[in-house]
Each structure stands twice: as structure tokens, then as C-alpha cells.
Amino acid sequence: MTEVILHEPLDMHLHLRDGDMLRTVAPLSARSFSGALIMPNLVPPITDGEMLRAYRHRILEAAGENCFKPYMTLFFKPEYDFDFLAPLAEEITAIKLYPAGITTNSEGGVSGFDVETLRPALEAMSELGIPLCIHGETGGFVLDREREFVPIYEELAVAFPELSIVMEHITDAVSLEALERHPNLYATITLHHLLITLDDVVGGMLQPHLFCKPIAKRPEDRQALLHAALNAHPKVMFGSDSAPHPRHAKEAPGCAAGVFTAPVALPVLAELFARHGKLEKLQHFVSTNAREIYQIDPPVKKVRLVDTPMQVPEKYGEVVPLFAGREIGWSIADVEC
């Protein structure tokens, strides 16, 4: 038997939603992760301290007795300034910027990336040491959206050298190259973008449960992401982007974007890293790098994963997970906290 023990695993990009959905999905992440960066794209989005505290409370209630820390984010608005953010700085781990309309529940996001318009908010964040997370896609042709956004990342990285900027859920080899050029650029990589390419989504029968933003790209992009993750590139962190939508919203004309990976994330990562002989790098990819980049100290948790197969359920509540109904090669043996 092969096993790996992970300490304080972290998911640095997670959608937990609200209401019944929150109660279904939160325990699945809370069981195996020590903490997660919680995305603010609710309807309406999380834009002030009161909403943030109430949402944090609902998450903790839904997570139950799992010793799990939700690292909270605000939904970026250009109106944020120093006086607004300073009293919140202790309660927020990052602020998430969405280009308007680019992905699920991002209608209230930013239109146009004029540095001068964004300056007051981004200078305040630099001063307060609040990282900026970005869904970096333009409104261009779908396969080019992320690469077209790279110059915007770079412009912001240069204009705000003290601001940590996280390129969220990168899918394109070009984004990885940008990491090397700017000390204040970082990135998250999802599980599904390490596993699939566009072929898996649309190359055969259309696979709605693999449809997400940004869309999975070419084999060489996936290969580049895999190389960075397997070698635990120090500027790269695991962020599942686990994004649950009810089955009726996925298996429909106008399929919602998002892949639900939370319940299988750690076992499938362990299987992937083991297959490549890189198990010893997994701790860095799923925890150490994020702790250093975000300067966080998550609750103690020890997760033991073993190469004993498990059967993935067809559904959790109304949500269909990655590998639904299939057997995966690894499973969680026990969790201590």
C-alpha cells in the first residue's frame, strides 16, 4: 500500500454558494481541507463587512465539527478605498476581481481595466497588505481570453509593485510564463485543468459537467500546468475552483459553467502525483506554497490518503461531481484534527 500524509491541506479557490447548496457542499470541503479561500460571487455578491461576517457564520454552521477555516474574500468594486477597507483588513484574506459578465454571477464586476480608475482601491489594498485575486479573461475569442488578459496582469503588477496579485485558475501556458517576470504575481491551478483538455469537454459527446470558465485548453497547456504543479512551483497553489451547480442547470441548453470537484480533490491529486512519482511535492502544492504566499496559519489537520480505490457517488444532493459513478484509485483513510 502507498500512502501520503498531508498537513493542513488548503483549497485557495472555492465556491460554497449559500442555503441548501452550502449545506450540501461545505462539509465535503471542510472534512478534508484545513481551510479554503471562499469566493464572493453570490447573488448579490459579498461587498461589505456585514455580508461577509454573516456569510462566514453560515459557512461555519454548515461545515459542522470539521475544524475548517473559511478565508473570506470581498467582491472587488472600484469604489473601495482605504477608509472602507482598513477596518475590514483583519477579516478578509483577499479581494476578488471579476471582469463584468465574464463568468458565473460576475455581472457586477469591472468593465475596462483603466489603471487610474482602479488606483485608489488597489493602492489601499497594497498599503493594507490585502492580495488581489483576478478571474483573468477578456471578452475575446474563448480560447484566447486568458492569454489576452496576461498584459493586463502585467500592467497591474508593474503599476502596483507592493500588491500581491493571484492569477486565478490559470489554464494557459502563457500565464505561467508571466509568473516568472513579476515578483508579485502568483497563480492557482485547479484539479480539472491538470486532467482535461478542450477535447474532453467538446471533442466527443458534449460533457456539460466538464464545462467551466476558463475553458480547458490545448494538451501543451495542460502539460505546462502539470509540470508546474508536480514540481510545486513556489508561486503556484492548489485552488480547486470547485463550482457546484444543480444538475438541471448543467444538463440544459445554456449549461452553467463550473466543475464540482470538492469531494474527490485530494484523492485524485494524490493519485495524479503518485502516478508521476511526485508524491513528495504534493504537500507544497496543496498547503506550504499557499501558507507562504498568503501568510496564513491554518488550523492543524492531518489527512492520510491511501491507494485504496473508492467509488464516487453519482450525486451529492443535486450536484454531479467529477468522476461521478466511477472508481478512483485513491481515497482518504483518516483525518485528524
- Catalytic residue positions? 241
Report d(CA 37, CA 283) in Å as an integer.
Answer: 17
Question: Residue 261 interacts with ligand NCD (CB under 6 A)?
Answer: no
Instruction: Give 120's Cβ-side CA count (13 Å radius).
Output: 10
Q: Which of residues 73-112 bind Zn ion (CB under 5 A)?
A: 103
Tell me, what DSSP letter sits at residue 253?
A: S
Which of the listed partners (Zn ion, ligand NCD, none) does 104 bind, with a CB threshold of 5 to 8 Å by partner kind?
ligand NCD
Q: Output the nine-digit C-alpha cell for 80.
A: 473601495
Q: Which of residues 25-54 bind ligand NCD (CB under 6 A)?
A: 41
Report d(CA 28, CA 272) in Å as an integer.
Answer: 20
Of the candidates 135, 217, 235, 250, which one interacts with Zn ion according to CB under 5 A?
135
Per-position x/- string for 113-142, each x denoting binding to ligand NCD as judged by CB under 6 A, each - no binding:
----------------------x-------
Binding residues for Zn ion, total number by CB under 5 A: 3
Tell me, what DSSP letter sits at residue 259?
A: B
Contacts of 283 (CB under 8 A, 6+ apart): 6, 7
Would you give the end-to-end CA distance of the chain in angstroms?
24
Min dist. Cβ of residue 96 to ligand NCD (A): 9
Question: Residue 279 interacts with ligand NCD (CB under 6 A)?
Answer: no
Backbone angles phi, psi at 73, to 5 degrees: -130, 155
- State the alpha helices, DSSP H only, in 197-313: 198, 219-230, 247-250, 265-275, 282-283, 289-294
Min dist. Cβ of residue 21 to ligand NCD (A): 11
Report d(CA 97, CA 198) in Å as an integer.
Answer: 25
Binding residues for ligand NCD, total number by CB under 6 A: 12
Report d(CA 165, CA 153) in Å as an integer.
Answer: 8
| Residue with smaller CB distance to ligand NCD, 43 or 300 | 43
| Residue with smaller CB distance to Zn ion, 103 or 175 | 103
- Tallying the residues shown for the chain, one arrives at 337
Tell me, what DSSP letter sits at residue 18?
A: S
Q: 45-51 — which CB contacts under 8 Å span 24+ positions?
A: 45/75, 45/105, 45/108, 46/72, 46/73, 46/74, 46/75, 47/74, 47/75, 47/77, 47/108, 48/74, 49/87, 49/88, 49/91
- Name which of 239, 261, 255 is nearest 39 in CA terms: 239
Q: Which of residues 216-245 bind Zn ion (CB under 5 A)?
A: 241
Question: Residue 241 interacts with ligand NCD (CB under 6 A)?
Answer: yes
Q: Which of residues 180-219 bind ligand NCD (CB under 6 A)?
A: 212-213
Min dist. Cβ of residue 109 to ligand NCD (A): 10
Q: Which of residues 240-279 bind Zn ion (CB under 5 A)?
A: 241
Min dist. Cβ of residue 307 to ligand NCD (A): 29
Residue the block writes with cell 485504496: 308
Min dist. Cβ of residue 149 to ligand NCD (A): 13
- Name which of 2, 1, 6 is nearest 304 in CA terms: 6
Min dist. Cβ of residue 164 to Zn ion (A): 18
| Residue with smaller CB distance to ligand NCD, 103 or 289 | 103
Question: Residue 243 interacts with ligand NCD (CB under 6 A)?
Answer: yes
Q: Which of residues 74-103 bind ligand NCD (CB under 6 A)?
A: 103
| Residue with smaller CB distance to ligand NCD, 153 or 330 | 153
Backbone angles phi, psi at 150, to 5 degrees: -55, -45
| Residue with smaller CB distance to ligand NCD, 85 or 216 | 216
State the residues that interact with ligand NCD by CB under 6 A. 15, 41, 103-105, 135, 212-213, 241, 243, 257-258
Binding site for Zn ion (CB under 5 A): 103, 135, 241
